[in-house]
């Protein structure tokens, strides 16, 4: 160890060789003896009544074992539940027979509500046979009018999606102080406003979803293998609310999965279907999605139609903020979609600023598009986008430098912990320091020279410096219950020290690319002073792991890691207690260093962790009351959320003729508190930044007025490519969260939270000399050209007037 701590060290990820060289088993690779294949017939209509479904031809096709529609599962497979009920003024859901909010039937019943809604499934000997048979199912639809935007869905004459939900309004949630914000706006010197659509994005993990169901008649046990980022959550919800089977008769195993970005924490129809069908057919049933299937069925992100009003005085002091947002939930409430779309926006709108009067109101609305769920940074990215665009507009209005305005209103470290007046209590951090550092990195003070140089090449150069804070680490269970979460949000860890000294760490959270096996191992290696190679980190099998939850909301390391530290500390205490007994000294006289235990100042008598563990296994001579073996299980429920923060800066160039945007440079200073592995954190940040730049420049789900998805594959939906991006310059500062002993804050989403608006602000800055104030995302060149042309026309017409 050479005195350097293992925790935080830039160690190579132990899981990478297998993941990258193709030897790891991904969900799509799974195969069981006797396995058969399921294919899903999805609705081709955005909104229609199902008059009839004729499966007679499909069922007689070669290799076909079963064809089912909603009639076959009525009363046998319950509708999916929604478990995050926005804790607002009102909320309305489709019904569920168990009294919980419903999230729609497993197979469309009487009506389809989006293109992609599952209508029927075929199980056949081969995937080919199942897909051939799908083509022979005849569905007689009676088209109904479709509605694709939240605004349309709220209009008086809009088609109604769910009988139980009047006016398509799922929830109306309010945050902050309305009368204070209204009065600030009324009395302000300066008010700026912005109406903007934070466009819907399609989550695009490398691997589409997979579900493989098995039923074991001898034990009556069901096994679901597949792409789950929350195996324990899925186990509870499927057993309790969908299949109605005992919890201990459902095992969920999630092998290596190729990314998720939040999507694979949701319940989908295929999960209960493969389990139920496996029992019906008596053979394992596998379903594997395709890219096009993913794009019309896996939960999508963002889609907040926002209006913001920011007011202040002429010196740059912000006095008030008001936000109204319409969240487009899509056709059904996804598992936790309604909560994500409301609280994660409404409570975040003030970001890093000390705004004395703020209010946000979010309406969550049903429409005929794919259900909305999480996407890396959800809610926080939309909120950050709005406030940072507003501040640029405000600074311009009063003729001040936008970085000065930001600093003037930023929460200062001595104000920590800080109540943001919207429901969050920021834990720690020096927001102005990270902001100043990024401002220096980007060379803000000499940017005018760079702008002039770019003009000589036919380019407009723009710069932005934007801070962010991102609530992470879901969460304190009691608090989450008040937010409307129907479930616990603690996390777990188990540490076993084997008689031969190797250590198994079993965790309740689940990696889908984050490198848990490395960074969680580093916690234990650091605490017990043993090499990382002695430690294996096991996860993703509900039968092997202790009770746990899953990975979402940047909680794995910040919450699950704290549980692991707690277990490591307990293991260490027990090792010390036995060593004290062996050495016949009080526990306080035992030194534990670098994997060895010895009486203080007598290193020659040292015993290794391995030797003490073996003594514990034999149990020949244990102190009174000590149980044999080292096997510690801990549960950790954090007292509060944690709040990673930072700042990012972008330099872009816009071509004066074609409007093409070139991201020249991107800087970030991020603070995620204590890190498990600095390289992994940096990688997460890089990925997050790319994600945010993707939304700013290219991504955007497009639906026709008829509800058909126009961007239906990767030839029509643009994702960022490595070759489109500059080298990112990323630094970190470390401010531990006081809320956990580990001190770690969330890291997986933060890169995304500010990146989109960093690009948007830089592009608007580039075009400010032309009089351009705002351009909507994605910042496609054609749109930029139009903005440049209309700005030029405006300035010509104002010249004529003067």
Name the 3-class secondary structure at 711.
coil
Question: Is the alpha carbon torsion for 762, 380, 472, 468 positive or negative?
Answer: positive
Name which of 639 and 704 has its Cβ closer to other proteins: 704
Strands 661-671 and 645-655: antiparallel
Q: Which of residues 265-294 bind other proteins (CB under 8 A)?
A: 290, 292
Give, in order, the Cα–Cα distances in Å from 782 to each of 457, 709, 773.
Answer: 20, 21, 16
Burial class of residue 72, CB neighbours in 10 A (0-12, 13-18, 19+): middle
Site of tokens 């234990």 = 524
Quick note: the x/- pattern for other proteins over 725-764, rule CB under 8 A, is: ----------------------------------------
Least distance (Å) between residue 403 CB and other proteins: 31
Candidates 89, 206, 449, 714; binder of other proteins (CB under 8 A) is: 714
Least distance (Å) between residue 297 CB and other proteins: 14
Select from 70-78, 256-264, 265-273, 707-715 the region that touches other proteins (CB under 8 A).
707-715
35 binds other proteins (CB under 8 A): no
Name which of 679 and 719 has its Cβ closer to other proteins: 719
Alpha-carbon distance of 658 to 321, in angstroms, equals 36
Least distance (Å) between residue 261 CB and other proteins: 18
Select from 172-180, 221-229, 360-368, 694-702 the region that touches other proteins (CB under 8 A).
694-702
Strands 645-655 and 630-636: unpaired
Give, in order, the Cα–Cα distances in Å from 18 to each of 14, 26, 207, 270, 539.
Answer: 9, 10, 16, 28, 16
Name which of 533 and 786 has its Cβ closer to other proteins: 786
Alpha-carbon distance of 597 to 397, in angstroms, equals 66
785 binds other proteins (CB under 8 A): yes
Select from 195-203, 411-419, 547-555, 780-788 the region that touches other proteins (CB under 8 A).
780-788
Candidates 702, 706, 731, 776; binder of other proteins (CB under 8 A) is: 702
Candidates 500, 716, 793, 795; binder of other proteins (CB under 8 A) is: 716
Tokens encoding 713: 């594959």
Name which of 170 and 695 has its Cβ closer to other proteins: 695
Alpha-carbon distance of 750 to 7, in angstroms, equals 20
Candidates 660, 793, 794, 798; binder of other proteins (CB under 8 A) is: 660
Site of tokens 């490398």 = 206
Residue from 132, 143, 138, 102 nearest 119 by CA:
138
657 binds other proteins (CB under 8 A): yes
Least distance (Å) between residue 665 CB and other proteins: 20
Site of tokens 């993990």 = 205
Least distance (Å) between residue 443 CB and other proteins: 28
Select from 170-178, 512-520, 708-716, 762-770 the region that touches other proteins (CB under 8 A).
708-716
Least distance (Å) between residue 716 CB and other proteins: 5
Name which of 143 and 716 has its Cβ closer to other proteins: 716
Least distance (Å) between residue 655 CB and other proteins: 9
Contacts for 15-23 with beta carbons within 8 Å, 24 or more apart?
A: 15/256, 15/511, 15/515, 15/517, 15/518, 16/515, 18/256, 19/256
Residue 548 C-beta-side C-alpha neighbours within 13 Å: 36
Non-local CB neighbours of 447 within 8 Å, separated by 6+ positions: 461, 463
Alpha-carbon distance of 567 to 741, in angstroms, equals 12
Quick note: the x/- pattern for other proteins over 100-139, rule CB under 8 A, is: ---------------------------xx--xx--x----
Residues across the chain: 802
Task: Yes or no: say if 460 and 388 are a contact pair by the CB < 8 Å rule.
Answer: no
Select from 399-407, 414-422, 464-472, 652-660 the region that touches other proteins (CB under 8 A).
652-660
Least distance (Å) between residue 711 CB and other proteins: 8
Least distance (Å) between residue 290 CB and other proteins: 5
Name the 3-class secondary structure at 744.
strand
Candidates 204, 334, 350, 711; binder of other proteins (CB under 8 A) is: 711
Least distance (Å) between residue 749 CB and other proteins: 24
Instruction: Describe the crossing of helices 380-398 and 750-766 by its angle, rounded to 10 degrees.
Output: 30
Site of tokens 């603070």 = 671
Least distance (Å) between residue 289 CB and other proteins: 10
Least distance (Å) between residue 158 CB and other proteins: 25
Least distance (Å) between residue 64 CB and other proteins: 15
Name which of 129 and 762 has its Cβ closer to other proteins: 129
Task: Yes or no: say if 355 and 421 are a contact pair by the CB < 8 Å rule.
Answer: yes
Size of the residue set binding other proteins (CB under 8 A)? 28
Name which of 464 and 711 has its Cβ closer to other proteins: 711
Alpha-carbon distance of 88 to 265, in angstroms, equals 23
Residue from 106, 104, 105 nearest 40 by CA:
106
Least distance (Å) between residue 121 CB and other proteins: 15
206 binds other proteins (CB under 8 A): no
Name which of 290 and 315 has its Cβ closer to other proteins: 290
717 binds other proteins (CB under 8 A): yes
415 binds other proteins (CB under 8 A): no
Non-local CB neighbours of 623 within 8 Å, separated by 6+ positions: 577, 578, 580, 581
Non-local CB neighbours of 137 within 8 Å, separated by 6+ positions: 41, 53, 54, 55, 57, 58, 67, 119, 120, 122
Candidates 56, 315, 415, 658; binder of other proteins (CB under 8 A) is: 658
Name which of 533 and 710 has its Cβ closer to other proteins: 710
Task: Yes or no: say if 140 and 51 are a contact pair by the CB < 8 Å rule.
Answer: yes
Least distance (Å) between residue 125 CB and other proteins: 13
Q: How close are the terminal C-alpha atoms of the chain, in Å?
A: 74
Burial class of residue 177, CB neighbours in 10 A (0-12, 13-18, 19+): middle
Tokens encoding 637: 């429920």
Task: Yes or no: say if 213 and 284 are a contact pair by the CB < 8 Å rule.
Answer: yes
Select from 389-397, 433-441, 656-664, 731-739 the region that touches other proteins (CB under 8 A).
656-664
782 binds other proteins (CB under 8 A): yes
Candidates 718, 725, 741, 768; binder of other proteins (CB under 8 A) is: 718
Strands 661-671 and 728-733: parallel
Q: Could you list the residues that contact other proteins (CB under 8 A)?
A: 127-128, 131-132, 135, 290, 292, 657-658, 660, 697-698, 702, 710-711, 713-719, 721, 724, 781-782, 785-786
């Amino acid at each position: 160890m050479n005195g350097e701590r293992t925790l935080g060290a830039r160690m190579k990820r132990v899981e990478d060789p297998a993941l990258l060289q193709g030897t790891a088993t991904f969900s799509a690779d799974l195969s069981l003896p006797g396995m058969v294949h399921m294919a899903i017939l999805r609705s081709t209509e955005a909104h229609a009544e199902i008059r009839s479904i004729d499966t007679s031809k499909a069922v007689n096709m070669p290799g076909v074992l079963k064809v089912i529609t909603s009639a076959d599962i009525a009363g046998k497979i319950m509708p999916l539940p929604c478990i995050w009920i926005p804790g607002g003024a009102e909320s309305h859901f489709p019904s569920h027979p168990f009294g919980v909010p419903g999230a729609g039937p497993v197979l469309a019943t009487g009506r389809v509500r989006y293109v992609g809604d599952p209508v029927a499934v075929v199980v056949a000997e081969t995937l080919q046979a199942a897909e051939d048979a799908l083509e022979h199912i005849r569905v007689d639809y009676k088209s109904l009018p479709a509605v694709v935007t939240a605004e349309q869905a709220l209009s008086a004459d809009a088609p109604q999606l769910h009988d139980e939900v009047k006016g398509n309004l799922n929830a109306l949630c309010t945050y902050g102080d309305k009368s204070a914000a209204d009065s600030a706006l009324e009395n302000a010197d300066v008010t700026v406003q912005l109406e903007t659509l934070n466009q819907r994005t399609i989550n695009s993990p490398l691997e589409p979803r997979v579900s493989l169901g098995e039923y074991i008649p001898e034990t009556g046990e069901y096994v679901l293998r597949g792409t789950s980022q929350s195996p324990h959550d899925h186990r509870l919800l499927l057993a309790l609310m969908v299949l109605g089977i005992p919890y201990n008769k459902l095992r969920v195993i999630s092998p290596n999965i190729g990314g998720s970005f939040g999507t694979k924490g949701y319940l989908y129809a295929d999960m209960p279907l493969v389990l139920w069908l496996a029992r019906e057919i008596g053979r394992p049933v596998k379903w594997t999605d395709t890219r096009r299937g993913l794009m019309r069925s896996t939960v999508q992100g963002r889609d907040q139609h926002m209006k913001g009003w920011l007011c202040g005085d002429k010196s740059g002091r912000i006095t008030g903020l008001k936000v109204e947002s319409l969240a487009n939930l899509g056709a059904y409430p996804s598992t936790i979609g309604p909560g994500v779309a409301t609280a994660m926006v409404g409570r975040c709108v003030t970001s890093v600023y000390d705004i004395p009067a703020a209010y946000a109101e979010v309406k969550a609305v049903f429409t005929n598009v794919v259900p909305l769920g999480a996407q890396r940074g959800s809610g926080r990215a939309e909120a950050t986008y709005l406030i940072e665009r507003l501040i640029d507009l405000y600074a311009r209005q009063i003729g001040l430098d936008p970085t000065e305005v930001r600093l003037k209103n930023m929460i200062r470290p001595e104000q920590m912990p800080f109540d943001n007046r919207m429901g969050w209590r920021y834990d720690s951090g020096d927001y102005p320091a990270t902001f100043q550092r990024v401002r220096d990195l980007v060379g803000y003070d000499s940017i005018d020279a760079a702008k002039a140089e770019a003009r000589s090449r036919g380019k407009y150069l723009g710069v932005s410096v934007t801070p962010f804070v991102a609530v992470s680490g879901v969460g304190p269970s009691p608090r989450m219950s008040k937010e409307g979460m129907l479930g616990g949000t603690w996390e777990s860890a188990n540490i076993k020290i084997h008689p031969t000294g190797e250590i198994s760490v079993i965790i309740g959270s689940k990696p889908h690319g984050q490198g848990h096996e490395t960074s969680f191992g580093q916690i234990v290696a650091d605490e017990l002073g043993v090499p990382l190679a002695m430690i294996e980190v096991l996860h993703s099998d509900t039968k092997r792991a202790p009770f746990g939850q899953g990975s979402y909301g940047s909680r794995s390391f910040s919450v699950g890691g704290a549980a692991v530290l707690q277990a490591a500390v307990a293991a260490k205490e027990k090792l010390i207690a036995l060593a004290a007994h062996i050495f016949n000294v009080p526990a306080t006289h035992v030194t534990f260093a670098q994997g060895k235990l010895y009486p203080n100042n007598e290193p020659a008598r040292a015993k290794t962790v391995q030797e003490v563990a073996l003594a514990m296994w034999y149990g020949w001579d244990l102190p009174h009351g000590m149980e044999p073996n080292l096997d510690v299980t801990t549960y950790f429920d954090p007292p509060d959320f944690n709040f990673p923060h930072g700042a990012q800066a972008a330099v872009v160039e816009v071509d004066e003729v074609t409007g093409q945007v070139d991201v020249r440079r991107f800087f970030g200073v991020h603070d995620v508190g204590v890190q498990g592995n600095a390289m992994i954190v940096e990688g997460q940040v890089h990925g997050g930044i790319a994600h945010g730049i993707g939304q700013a420049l290219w991504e955007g789900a497009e639906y026709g007025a008829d509800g058909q998805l126009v961007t239906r594959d990767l030839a029509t939906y643009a994702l960022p490519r490595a070759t489109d991006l500059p080298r990112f310059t990323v630094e970190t500062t470390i401010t531990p969260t006081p809320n956990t002993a580990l001190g770690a804050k969330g890291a997986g989403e933060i890169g995304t939270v500010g990146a989109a608006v960093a690009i948007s602000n830089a592009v608007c800055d580039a075009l400010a000399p032309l009089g351009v104030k705002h351009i909507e995302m994605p910042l496609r060149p054609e749109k930029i050209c139009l903005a440049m042309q209309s700005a030029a026309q405006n300035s010509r017409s104002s010249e004529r007037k003067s």
